[in-house]
Amino acid sequence: MSKLETKLREVKNKRARRELLDSVDPVLSCLLSEVEFSHDVQCLKYAAFSTWDMEADQQTTTRGMVEGWDLKYFDTMAEMTSFIKASIEPAIIPGWFFIDTDGPYYSLTLAEFVLNLDLLQNYCEAQDHFDIGWVGKSSDMGVIFEFNHTSFCRNQLEVCTWGM
């Protein structure tokens, strides 16, 4: 990436950060404004987004086979956040939280991510934006929420987890 592209990315992410901080609950805004944030796409080096492998005709990840990777589908954001809160132990594991895969990325622990899911759910529903996630900084683990428009006239929310 050229210096100009890097600078443009930084400017775009600073603007996106300001917009996010202005649109989330004040408690979450305070937390996100106080943590380190980054523009570096390497923050998502452990991300494992779901994708369809055409050759194998099966669901996989953007990184191929990932140990412990699991995919679940939900009809509502509330069902999805309830599942995450019930199945993931809030641990003090450093990671990167993101609203957009292009950045910015916020340094949050898994515990901070899980404990603020209700506030994130409110943001997602208010903004009609359902693609968010958390990935480990130095641990191959993560949680990614995605919204899929299916060809069967039924939209689905999916959550990918691995390393938990």
User: Whole-structure pTM over 0.95, yes or no?
Assistant: no
Query: Can you give the pLDDT at residue 9?
Result: 84
Helix, strand, or coil (residue 152): coil
Distance (Å, rounded) from C-alpha 8 to C-alpha 152?
39
C-alpha to C-alpha distance for 72 and 50, rounded to whole angstroms = 11
Rounded to whole angstroms, the Cα distance separating 6 from 98 reads 18
From first to last of its 164 residues, the chain has per-residue pLDDT tens of 688 888 888 889 889 899 989 989 999 999 999 999 998 989 999 888 887 777 877 777 888 788 899 999 998 888 999 999 999 988 999 999 998 888 899 999 999 999 999 999 888 888 777 788 999 999 999 999 987 655 565 567 889 999 98
What would you report as the CA-atom Rg of the chain, rounded to the nearest whole angstrom? 16
From start to end of 10-57, where are the E strands? 37-38, 50-53
